[in-house]
Amino acid sequence: MRIEFVAADRTRAPKGGAVAVMAFEGGKLSWAAEDMDKATEGAVTRAIAAGRFAGKPGQTVELVVPAGLDVQRLVVVGAGADWNADAAERFAAQAFQSTRTSGSDTLHVLLPGATAAEAAQAALGATLAAYRFDRYRTTEKAEAKPSLQTVQIHTDDVKAADAAFAPLKALGEAIYFSRDLVSEPPNVLYPAEFARRVKALESLGLTVEILDEEAMMKLGMGSLLGVGQGSVRDSQLAVIQWNGAGDAQPVAFVGKGVCFDTGGISIKPADGMEDMKWDMGGAAAVAGVMYVLAGRKAKVNAVGILGLVENMPDGNAQRPGDVVTSMSGQTIEIINTDAEGRLVLADALWYCQDRFKPKFMVDLATLTGAIIISLGNDYAGLFSNNDALSDNLLAASKAEAEPLWRMPMPDPYNKQIESMIADLKNTGNGRAGGSITAALFLQKFVNGLPWAHLDIASTAWKKPSTIPTIPDGATGFGVRLLNRMVADHYEG
Ligand code: BES
Ligand code: MN
Ligand code: ZN
């Protein structure tokens, strides 16, 4: 899909394709909607009056080959009560979804009078709405395929809009990169292939090191390596660095990259197991964050660590009852081999703080089914040992509409992860508070650093999605949020 800004001209209506304009709650038309209403001698007003359209977000009215215009269709999109950059993003995304398979190949999004920032945000909205993972489809019917090839955002100042879009274009690409990783099937995207795709990001100016099993063995990463032990695919640790601020202390992001989670010997039920291809969503989000920081040349030093493994049952697989020694020196009794994400993160977090001494660490992980039970599918869980870091994350979460809810980490629950024969065990007692005991386990590996854990098992994958910027499937959750947090608090 091509996206471009063109000069808005209120004296001449666009020709051909589909045209999108807005109306606000209460029925007020935007300038462009008024222009189209005049050109069609009131057909827009009449179309709105003919139905229940009330200008609410998500509502649309479509006029096909309207007399007085030389276009295939005119879509009036509800823009809600408040006009701002977020509304512009939603408007363009909704306009895209409404015309995606309409038969029109061009969508004109009319935004005369909007600021360059709003036009740029609209371009991001259309970009995110257009995401589609169709690499493996060979027999899709022509009428089911998207017809839109080009989106033109009509704006007053094309140069200013182009400039404002540059960082958002990088963000869109980063989210696409992250969504692609999550969407790929697990026979294609195993740890070494994930590592190769991340290595290719060096073209953006990132530095990427890949540690293989031998290197991790030397570092003493018995906890991470135990998880991958039953797989014929070698485990990998990807270390990504962005240097945009000289020798400043870096910020750090750590991702769970379980390319497929069968549960291991504590095997999962067959129903829905295919979903466990997206158990690398945390690592994909961290890769996406590093992508956008490099893509927009952020003035920050950042580190991204990805623990990449496959959790398989096998004659050589880790057993319940095994004791492993982590890089931190703490020993862990494995109670359930399906609680593998925390074992991967234990060594990734310890390595991160040991080598980079960052200002803080934020980890992202599709860590527990329990977080879905706690929060449903719209909120990710936030666990942290630091209020200031939490507040920054919550503010960024609001600004980017990637909802987080802070969860408690009560000290007495630590009792649940005490082992009879080792320093720790990898599960709590039963299912109660399962996301909390998982977070408490991770906390043992941050060495007192400011740290936050985002349990994104609830938000990494959305099906069905009701958000126009998020097509069904991989969301890229976390990329926008962390990019915003860095931009607002850790640059310059
Ligand atoms: N990857 C899963 C968590 C998960 C479950 C993510 C469902 C998305 C949807 C994780 O590795 C896991 O299996 N966790 C167990 C932990 C339990 C064994 C303590 C869980 O949540 O059941
Ligand atoms: Mn598991
Ligand atoms: Zn898992």
Catalytic residue among 56, 268, 359, 406: 268
Q: Is 402 in the pocket of ligand 1 (CB under 6 A)?
A: no
Helix (H, G, I), strand (E, B) or coil at 332: strand
pLDDT at 27 over 90: no
Q: Is 99 in the pocket of ligand 1 (CB under 6 A)?
A: no
Measure the CA–CA gap between 240 and 446, rounded to whole angstroms.
Answer: 19
Whether 268 is a known active-site residue: answer yes
pLDDT at 232: 98
Of 178, 132, 58, 194, the C-alpha closest to 459 is: 178
* Alpha-carbon separation of residue 226 from 105, 222, 326 (angstroms): 52, 6, 10
How much is the mean pLDDT over the chain?
Answer: 97
Instruction: Read off the tokens for 110.
Output: 């009319």
Mean pLDDT of 425-430: 94
Mean pLDDT of 162-183: 98
Query: How do residues 429-464 score in pLDDT, each as one tens digit?
Result: 989 999 999 999 999 999 999 999 999 999 999 999
Measure the CA–CA gap between 330 and 310, rounded to whole angstroms.
Answer: 23
Measure the CA–CA gap between 52 and 437, rounded to whole angstroms.
Answer: 49
Query: How do residues 135-167 score in pLDDT, each as one tens digit?
Result: 999 999 988 999 999 999 999 999 999 999 999
Query: How do residues 247-287 score in pLDDT, each as one tens digit?
Result: 999 999 999 999 999 999 999 999 999 999 999 999 999 99
Whether 342 is a known active-site residue: answer yes
Residue 219 DSSP one-character state: H
In this structure, the chain runs to a length of: 492
Confidence tier at 385 by pLDDT (50, 70, 90):
very high
Q: Count CB atoms within 10 A of the CB of residue 300.
A: 20
pLDDT at 489 over 90: yes
Q: Is 457 in the pocket of ligand 1 (CB under 6 A)?
A: yes
Q: Is 261 in the pocket of ligand 1 (CB under 6 A)?
A: yes
Mutate to test the pocket of ligand 1, among 333, 338, 371, 426 (most ligand atoms within 8 A of CB): 338
pLDDT at 410 over 90: yes
Mutate to test the pocket of ligand 1, among 259, 276, 309, 368 (most ligand atoms within 8 A of CB): 368
